[in-house]
Amino acid sequence: MADDNSVYRDLFFEESDDNLQTLNDNILELEQEPDNIDLINSIFRVAHTLKGMSATMGYDVMTKLTHKMEDMLDLFKTGKLKVNSDHISLVFKCLDKLQELVDDLRDDKELSEDQITDLWNELDRVESSAEQGEAGGEPKPAEEKHDDGALTTKFEHFDDADIDVVGEARVEGMNAYTIAIRLDKETLLKGPRVFLINEHLEKDGEIIRTEPSADLLEDGDFDTDYRMIYITKDSLDEVKQNIESNTEIDSYLVEEFKAPEEDKEEAPKEETKEAPKQAEPKKEAKPAAKKPAKAPAHKVKNQAIRVDLNRLDRFLNLVSELVVYRNQLEDATNRESIGEINDSLEQVSRLTSELQDLVLKIRMQPVSVVFSRFPRMIRDLANQLHKEMHLEIIGEETELDKTVVSELSEPMIHLLRNSADHGIEDPETRKKLGKPEEGTITLSAYQEGNKVLITLSDDGKGLNPEIIKASAERKGIDTTGLTDREIQMLVFHPGFSTAKKITSISGRGVGLDAVQSKITELGGSIDVESKVDVGTTTVITLPLTLSIIQALMVKIGNESFAVPLDVVERVVMIHEKDIMKTSNREVCKFQEGLIPIIRTDELLQMPPSDSDKKYAIIVKSGKQYFGILVDQMIGQQEIVIKKIDPMLQKIKKYQGATILGNGSIALILDVNAVCNGR
């Protein structure tokens, strides 16, 4: 890999990922709107950009496959190839292969043409049959072409995508030319001759279109004339010198590129005559201040930038330190009562709050970053499972911390696959149940306070408690006394699976327990509601950010701890006489019922307090309330979450640590783990 390209590798990977995702989205839309010519043009532009970037980086295998895919898209455009499910699937195969090639390049693997041979041959078969009329209509009689008369730079077919590429190139200070070349009639090896001519030109620029197509030129399947659009930094004279350095050229023309719209604007001119190789080609008058007809317009719009995450993390650490110093100032004020500090403290508080809000917003990403890949996945699953289903997405603009978004993909894929495989019934079954034959999976996201709720629902067969109970008992899971809802939640039990047949989609007894573990790791919770033959709804609750949170500071014994405020329902004072014992645990009264009591000093193996008075922090874990006992209340405080040592992480009672105003360290309790006794 060339060192010159190493500087641009990261940019290439980012842009390629974006372009491939855009192509996936647009091809999916094209399947629903096969006659949308604007959409096809848009797809062309993105594919052309991807091909150009690959060629610039010297990734020939990727360039070759993208070019072949473009040929197929061109058949869609001309109507020779019908936009149907099979042909769309073939384009998706190309996109998957291109993503595989990008990933290989990212891992510094060498690409081989063997990687694309099978797909290339499949594309070639479809394109050949289309050209012969087998896929798009009646076969057209072969026409013998003879290039007689004046050499011309006029194209028989033109593409808006080329005009856009030229416009963008001109904005970047490049020149665009239309070149026509006539080979000597005695030229025996036309294909290799064209290859050499084009190779010379591409050392100093890029050929973005040829007529006839590149494949025909390569095979020598043309008479003597061919045309191209050429982008370069070279002047017109330098381009001519480049062409003249070749042999077996009868004549040529080089003109400044003009879009068809520009030609129409000007008065008709006498057609340029063919120029002998040594003669000067006729020059067009250069417009003084004329812009290309379709150069990109400079509009005021929202702009997005990519930011190195390491820099963001550094920025966040600085803000975190500021918050720590602010807490120290507040502590000093409380201890010394120095009134002069107050004004400065107010300013520090204001600035740190603004900085904190700013950096958290910078870290925010819309969930569409993850959601955008799912429509394609559901489409492929529908074909694979021989079912009819579609995915509706709501609220994809909802934002979450980048860390949460990046970790969200895997659990969401598990849940979606589960809905497609286990939830949505086959069309015949749905028809018998009086449902539409096409199933609906709905994925929605919305913000509620300082949390984001992600809801995944389907109108499938639901979770049948009887089937789940039978499966659980076969696996030795005790279901005594469990409600239907509690039995349904057993699908998140490690190793649980109701699938009678293991498939590539689901049914290996793993997946949903991993989903729950990942969501819990992100500080969130997961809940399921399901009705037999009606459907299933899974609700995932996630924190907006994992970095700075509001916490309730408490003391257990002589040690300070933090409890995330978003899980706290209320705090009540409690005495030992208020605590009752059942057969297997301690409980206390709350809201006309009894809730379990968690003695944190025993759980954390700390010396018990002598005081009869304690505080019960009422929290909700899943659908159950718990009372977490602490000895003292310090108060509410904004804290910075710091990672803890891997050894402490294994205890699974803490989700991190924070630095207090006096410089001491307090551990942050993992409420879900504490309540479940893990």
Per residue in 160-176, pLDDT (tens digit) is 777 878 888 888 888 99
Please give the positions annotated as active site.
Answer: 48, 70, 418
Predicted confidence at residue 437, as pLDDT, reads: 93
**What is residue 108's three-state secondary structure?**
coil
Say which residue, 48 or 442, is predicted with more confidence.
442
| CATH, domain range 309-365 | 1.10.287
Going by pLDDT thresholds of 50, 70 and 90, the confidence category of residue 434 is very high
Task: List, for residues 561-576, the tens digit of each pLDDT value.
Answer: 999 888 888 999 988 8
Residue 184 vs residues 247, 278, 473: alpha-carbon distances, Å: 9, 14, 84
Mean pLDDT of the region 482-487: 85
Residue 302 vs residues 49, 246, 299, 305: alpha-carbon distances, Å: 22, 48, 10, 10
Residue 267, burial from CB neighbour count under 10 angstroms (0-12, 13-18, 19+): exposed
Q: Do domains 367-543 and 548-675 have the same CATH topology?
A: no
Predicted confidence at residue 480, as pLDDT, reads: 82
Predicted confidence at residue 260, as pLDDT, reads: 66
Does residue 454 surpass a pLDDT of 90? yes
Predicted confidence at residue 74, as pLDDT, reads: 85
Amino acid at 443: L
Beta pairing class for 593-599 and 624-630: parallel
Predicted confidence at residue 577, as pLDDT, reads: 87
- Residue environment code for 468-501, b if the CB has 16+ CB neighbours within 10 A, otherwise e: bbebbeeeebeeeebeeeebbbbbbbeebbbeee
636 DSSP β-pair partners: 552
CATH for 160-265, options being 3.30.70.260, 3.30.420.40, 3.30.70.1110, 1.10.730.10: 3.30.70.1110
Task: Give 610's contacts (C-beta < 8 A, 6+ positions apart).
Answer: none
CA distance 282 to 272: 7
CA distance 158 to 161: 9
Does residue 277 surpass a pLDDT of 60? no
Assign a CATH topology to domain 367-543.
Heat Shock Protein 90 (3.30.565)
Mean pLDDT of the region 215-226: 83
Average pLDDT, the chain: 80
Locate 223 and state its tokens. Answer: 């008479």
Locate 457 and state its tokens. Answer: 């629902």
Going by pLDDT thresholds of 50, 70 and 90, the confidence category of residue 430 is very high
Task: Give 369's contacts (C-beta < 8 A, 6+ positions apart).
Answer: 405
CA distance 656 to 650: 12
Does residue 399 surpass a pLDDT of 70? yes
Task: Give 364's contacts (C-beta < 8 A, 6+ positions apart).
Answer: 399, 400, 401, 402
Predicted confidence at residue 338, as pLDDT, reads: 64
Structural domain boundaries in the chain: 3-131, 160-265, 309-365, 367-543, 548-675
CA distance 118 to 107: 23
Phi first, then psi: give them for residue 357, nearest 5 degrees. -60, -40
Task: List, for residues 73-106, the tens digit of each pLDDT value.
Answer: 888 888 888 888 889 989 999 999 999 999 999 8
Predicted confidence at residue 94, as pLDDT, reads: 92
Task: Give 3's contacts (C-beta < 8 A, 6+ positions apart).
Answer: none
Sign (positive or negative) of CA dihedral 564, 566, 568, 570: positive
| CATH, domain range 3-131 | 1.20.120.160
| Dihedral class, residue 605 (left if φ above 0, else alpha if ψ from -120 to 50, else beta) | left
Does residue 15 surpass a pLDDT of 80? yes
CATH for 548-675, options being 3.40.50.880, 3.30.499.10, 3.40.50.150, 2.40.50.180: 2.40.50.180
Whether pTM > 0.75 for this model: the answer is: no
